[in-house]
Structure 1
Amino acid sequence: MNHSSPNIPATTPGSIPHTSDRPGRGPARLNPADRTQLTRHPVSLRRIAALFAPHRPTIVVVVLLITAASVINLAQPFLVRGVIDDALPHQDIPLLIWLTAAMVGVAALTSVIGVVQTWMATAMGQKVMHALRVKLFTHLQSQPLSFFTRTRGGEVQSRLTHDIAGMQSVVTSTATGVASNLTTTVATAVAMVALSPQLSLISLVVLPPAIWLSRRVALIRRQVTDERQATLAALHTQVEEGLSVSGARLAKTLGTTARDATLFTQRSDQLIGLELRSQLAGRWRMATMQIVFAAIPAVIYLAAGLPATSQGMTIGTLVAFTALQGQVFRPVMGLLNIGVQWVTALAFFSRIFEYLDLDPELKPPADPAPWDAERVQGEVRFEQVSFAYDDGSPTLAGIDLVVPAGTTTAVVGSTGSGKSTLASLVPRLYDATSGRVMIDGVDVRDLAPADLAATVGVVSQETYLIHASVRENLLLAQPGATDAALWSALETASLAGTIAALPEGLDTLVGARGHRFSGGEQQRLAIARTVLRNPPVLVLDEATSALDNTTEARVQAALDELSSGRTTLMIAHRLSTVMDADQVIVLEGGRIVEQGAPSELLTADGPFASLAAGRESALVA
């Protein structure tokens, strides 16, 4: 994090103050995207101030420390003048000792103040960032699946990490920079007038064109840097996408490896020219700055030597004034950049607040219904349930369904009939647009999220495993489970033998998104997690769809055993699975078109019989 230090070293004639060529330092340029973001989602300054309200005492102390350091540091030129004009010419050793000791003391004092100020400002910024980060994370957790469906994962991560970190850095450095640069500029200007009003007037004439020239030269470097960053971003994106497990598999199967290598070569070659332009622009900038900073003291020396402007000026005064005049350049440049930095900070806040202002569609109940998951019977009831996604088109319409406690209901139908949507309403991944979904007569919307999660277990067709060990993936379901319980769950899922045969057993790393294991093994790990949770209500959304016939038969037998005495809502895809259910419902266009025992429906020669006949053993179109 950048903090402008009030202890700015004086520049000697012809020297160049330290300036960084990194993006974000020196003359800044407004990013049009920041303006667009602020137009789309304006930010209230009062809302920003509320974030820092708990830290008012710290802010006051930091500002006072910065101001004190800036003022104390201005003693240095006057001490130098005393050394040159008084102590050295008169060989006044005691005065020389006092003055030089004071110079060291001033430097030490301002350095200590700078460390304390940086520590306090950084700690405050980190606390504000921590509060925002936690608030945003928990708020995004309350969003429905539709939010994550329509939002890129990288966008969520960027706002949660990069934007909050950038906000903290920009705001902290901007706030401390304003105090430091403003006090340094004002105090330096006052000291310059006190030393020599005549040379101060000359500086007022010389400084503006010098500052303008420096900004113009710096913009050239910034433009080249932006182009280089864009090319690097494209290069990094290709590396991330092309050298991931999925990217490498796609390239090999589509035969695009040579094409990808050519594109990577072209982008890398572009970086050569951009890097050369960037370095040359930097050299031209430094050369220009060298000329500017050599010209400024030269003009001052010329004015000091002319009888009309010198008026008996001493050498010490001239050296002190030159030092002051040299160090006023940097804070002035900093103040000129404050406007752009503030817009950048507001854009960060806008992006964060935009997510915080999202209305959580799945709001937890203010007064949750009393619930004991161990005493749940498990009857699931749909009463006139309808559902529509964001586009407004109905996916479910007027669903009336009772899944008696301890029974298995299979849901079949063609693709897009609403089977998975129906199943997702039970664990409240979505809320019904109208109607009610109830467990034991209690609306799922009236249950605390933790109670509902303990009651309903879900195994979906899309298995997700974290990049950790088998043990850690299983412990997500029951953090305190023993190894014996883990092995028992794996045995139920027909995976114990596979894991036991691995050199590291339960400590085997599953890999990114579970790529260490086959699709069927991933699915069985997910089933083992559900077995470990032991929920009274099961939702199986094509839970065995990734398994071969032999493995599916073993896992289905385990699921049948697990389902015994439990309420199970199963999205089925094979006739053999459906025939073991207590009842079958057939969905078409979001409506129940047939319902009954599987054997009865087969003989009824209705939609179920047509599905079975049309797909032989499969029931999903």
Structure 2
Amino acid sequence: MAQPALVGRVIAAVGAGDPVLPVVVVLVVVLVAAALLGAGQQYLLQRTAEGVVLTTRRRLVDRLLRLPVAEYDRRRTGDLMSRVGSDTTLLRAAVTSGVVELAGSVVVGVGALIAMALVDVWLLLVTVVAVSVGVTTAVLAARRVRALSRQAQEEVGAMSAAVERVLSAVRTIRASGATTREVAGVSTSAERAYRAGVAVARLEALVSPAGSIAVQGAFLAVLGLGGWRVATGSIAVADLVAFILYLFLLVMPLGQLIGSWTQLQAGLGALARVQEVLALDPEHDEVPERRPAGGAAAVLRVPTAGDPVPLLELDGVDFAYPGGGEPVLRGVSLTVPAGSRTALVGPSGAGKSTVLALVEGFYPLTGGAVRWAGTDVRELPRAALRSRIGYVEQEAPVLAGTVRENLLLAAPDTAEAELWRALADVGLTGVVARSPLGLDVPVGDDGVLLSGGERQRLAIARSLLSRPALLLLDEPTASLDARNEGLLRDTLAAAGADRALLVVAHRLSTVLDSDRIVVLEGGRVVAAGTHDELLDVSPLYRELATAQLLV
């Protein structure tokens, strides 16, 4: 703000024949100080923007990993990933070119207007009229940028989801000869993102000419009127030069103001997508509505073998997946005593895997209750309950990284000797020993460097290391050959000596020696007993056993 006034002083001093060196020295000092302060401002601004992005990404990732499982069923992974990536990047631009520069531009612009008013009110009036027309046009155009920007980000999220879909199944796509079709599908999604981005660019392109016209109009009007006023002696040449410099000082923040407003609108569109996720309720460790007012959380108790209270009990459980549809489970009741081995068998779609998901608390019950040691699980701290349950899903997911990192997932403080012992229990020692890296051998993305059976055995070893009181196994031998199935049966028999097992199995040979086999059909329990008892009383079980040559 001091620079135009100092330039005017220099011109006035030259015209009057006064010494100019002192004023020039002050002007140089001001210019150098402005450059240094500008560099510091730029650094602080960028650092602040990076801090905002870091905080937002941390909050987003924390919320994404704590959402109820039902939310992942409703949403596409690629779209959620784009909110952490591209949406937060837009927020960075909004902080740098938006909020801070917008505030700075307002301060400098107001200061320039005040200085211009002190120089000449009539020139200021012409400037304000010319600039107001352009600013009003630009603001009206920028108002639609937020909605269009959000639409563009939605399309980018859809494109990311499409890419994630094809990359996660690239082998299946290649084997099916569907590469060209899938490329076309992703390209269509990319084209929609392109069109949405072009719509934003088209609107932003209208903003810039409006500002340019306003600036040029103001400059020409000031030159014309100012030249006339100098000729008539109303103002001095030095004052006109100072006014024009202040006009330039107004023009710069005015251009920043228009650009910042546009960037801010685009950032607000991205912010709305970020806030949409942050507004989702996370999965809470405790469920306060199940607890008496002012009461403490129920104590998690682990019964021992022979305890009259079962470790796990399902009492009349009804369940339908969120979003409607037919019930998956209808009045399911069963008990799993401590130290026992219980199996769930039945045709596909009977609800066996759903039972395990409900025991883990992944979904809210539609009706009935799940009890742990006689206490409704909705009254227990969820994290503490899950720490006592081991769960091996049907797909046996393996995380990208090393064997060691996968084994330490649930038990990060486990000694290396125990890791090797767990691998030996599931027959994986040879797989790890064949690499010079040992436990640090990489498994690839989703465990692609391991066979299906190796992935499943690694997942089982990972669960055993957490020493759970209850081990949930969903099709543990689905990907194993006969030799490794026998080895795993021995492992499960040993594991069942000090913990309860609840096993879902299509291959009945895995569960023949279970203490209790529960037969599900159509979401209902139709029979329960030992293998020999069920052969006599359950036509469905007898049919399954006959089909697998067990009769």
The match for 2:243 among 318, 321, 327 is: 321
1:80 corresponds in structure 2 to 7
Aligned letter for 1:575? L
SS in structure 1 at match of 2:169: helix
Alignment of 1:77-476 (within 5 A): 77-86=4-13, 88-93=14-19, 96-110=20-34, 134=58, 136-160=60-84, 162-163=86-87, 166-167=90-91, 170=94, 174-208=98-132, 244=167, 246-247=169-170, 249-257=171-179, 297-306=219-228, 310-335=232-257, 344=266, 346-360=268-282, 364-366=286-288, 367-371=296-300, 379-390=311-322, 391=324, 393-476=326-409
Q: How far off is 1:467 after superposition?
A: 1.6
Hey, what's the Cα distance between the residues in 2 that align with 1:403 and 1:267?
A: 49
SS in structure 1 at match of 2:387: helix
Hey, what's the Cα distance between the residues in 1 that align with 2:497 and 2:320?
A: 33
Hey, what's the Cα distance between the residues in 2 that align with 1:425 and 1:300?
A: 75
SS in structure 1 at match of 2:412: coil
1:589 corresponds in structure 2 to 522
2:291 corresponds in structure 1 to none
Q: Deviations over 1:176-228 (max 9, x none)?
A: 34432222222211211222233323324543566689899999xx9xx9999
SS in structure 1 at match of 2:514: coil
Q: Deviations over 1:498-518 (max 9, x none)?
A: 111023221111111111211
1:491 corresponds in structure 2 to 424
Hey, what's the Cα distance between the residues in 1 that align with 2:140 and 2:423?
A: 67
Question: What is the percentage of aligned positions where both structures have the same residue?
Answer: 32
Does the 8 Å CA contact 2:78/2:157 hold for their aligned counterparts? no
| Alignment coverage as a number of residue pairs | 538
Structure 1 stretches lacking a partner, 5+ long: 1-73
1:507 corresponds in structure 2 to 440
SS in structure 1 at match of 2:435: coil
TM-score (norm 2): 0.81
Summarize the Cα distance change of 1:479–1:216 in structure 2 as closer, same or farther, 3 Å threshold.
closer
Aligned letter for 1:154? G
Q: How far off is 1:316 after superposition?
A: 2.3
Summarize the Cα distance change of 1:617–1:202 in structure 2 as closer, same or farther, 3 Å threshold.
farther
Summarize the Cα distance change of 1:235–1:531 in structure 2 as closer, same or farther, 3 Å threshold.
closer
2:293 corresponds in structure 1 to none
Summarize the Cα distance change of 1:281–1:589 in structure 2 as closer, same or farther, 3 Å threshold.
closer
1:37 corresponds in structure 2 to none
Does the 8 Å CA contact 1:142/1:363 hold for their aligned counterparts? no
Summarize the Cα distance change of 1:394–1:172 in structure 2 as closer, same or farther, 3 Å threshold.
same
Hey, what's the Cα distance between the residues in 2 that align with 1:522 and 1:238?
A: 26
Hey, what's the Cα distance between the residues in 2 that align with 1:143 and 1:226?
A: 23
Moved more, 204-213 or 263-272: 263-272
Hey, what's the Cα distance between the residues in 2 that align with 1:238 and 1:435?
A: 39
Moved more, 278-287 or 595-604: 278-287
Hey, what's the Cα distance between the residues in 2 that align with 1:267 and 1:536?
A: 47
TM-score (norm 1): 0.73
Aligned letter for 1:99? V
SS in structure 2 at match of 1:468: coil
SS in structure 1 at match of 2:359: coil
Aligned letter for 1:254? S
Summarize the Cα distance change of 1:501–1:373 in structure 2 as closer, same or farther, 3 Å threshold.
farther
Summarize the Cα distance change of 1:434–1:127 in structure 2 as closer, same or farther, 3 Å threshold.
farther
Summarize the Cα distance change of 1:187–1:290 in structure 2 as closer, same or farther, 3 Å threshold.
closer
SS in structure 2 at match of 1:425: helix
SS in structure 2 at match of 1:384: strand
Q: Deviations over 1:106-154 (max 9, x none)?
A: 3455556556666777777667666665555544444332211111112
SS in structure 1 at match of 2:498: coil
Aligned letter for 1:155? D
Hey, what's the Cα distance between the residues in 2 that align with 1:288 and 1:432?
A: 59
Summarize the Cα distance change of 1:118–1:294 in structure 2 as closer, same or farther, 3 Å threshold.
closer
Q: How far off is 1:251 after superposition?
A: 3.9
Hey, what's the Cα distance between the residues in 2 that align with 1:279 and 1:131?
A: 29
Summarize the Cα distance change of 1:239–1:133 in structure 2 as closer, same or farther, 3 Å threshold.
closer
Hey, what's the Cα distance between the residues in 2 that align with 1:579 and 1:306?
A: 106
Q: How far off is 1:472 after superposition?
A: 0.8
Cα RMSD over matched residues? 4.5
2:292 corresponds in structure 1 to none
Aligned letter for 2:313? R
The match for 1:546 among 475, 479, 485 is: 479
Does the 8 Å CA contact 1:379/1:404 hold for their aligned counterparts? yes
Hey, what's the Cα distance between the residues in 1 that align with 2:154 and 2:358?
A: 43
Summarize the Cα distance change of 1:106–1:441 in structure 2 as closer, same or farther, 3 Å threshold.
same
Q: Deviations over 1:78-105 (max 9, x none)?
A: 100001121x345544xx3332233234
Aligned letter for 1:100? V
Q: Deviations over 1:238-257 (max 9, x none)?
A: 87666x4632x234212244
Aligned letter for 2:473? L
Summarize the Cα distance change of 1:184–1:424 in structure 2 as closer, same or farther, 3 Å threshold.
same
SS in structure 2 at match of 1:486: helix
Summarize the Cα distance change of 1:495–1:123 in structure 2 as closer, same or farther, 3 Å threshold.
same
SS in structure 2 at match of 1:458: strand
Q: How far off is 1:581 after superposition?
A: 0.9
Q: How far off is 1:592 after superposition?
A: 0.8
Does the 8 Å CA contact 2:394/2:476 hold for their aligned counterparts? yes
Does the 8 Å CA contact 1:380/1:440 hold for their aligned counterparts? yes
SS in structure 2 at match of 1:191: helix
Moved more, 560-569 or 475-484: 560-569
Hey, what's the Cα distance between the residues in 2 that align with 1:601 and 1:541?
A: 21
Q: How far off is 1:407 after superposition?
A: 1.2
Hey, what's the Cα distance between the residues in 1 that align with 2:316 and 2:531?
A: 24
Aligned letter for 2:495? L
Does the 8 Å CA contact 1:411/1:586 hold for their aligned counterparts? yes
SS in structure 2 at match of 1:564: coil
Hey, what's the Cα distance between the residues in 2 that align with 1:375 and 1:534?
A: 14
Does the 8 Å CA contact 1:493/1:558 hold for their aligned counterparts? yes
1:17 corresponds in structure 2 to none
Q: Deviations over 1:474-495 (max 9, x none)?
A: 1112111121111111111111
Moved more, 492-501 or 110-119: 110-119
Hey, what's the Cα distance between the residues in 2 that align with 1:575 and 1:426?
A: 22
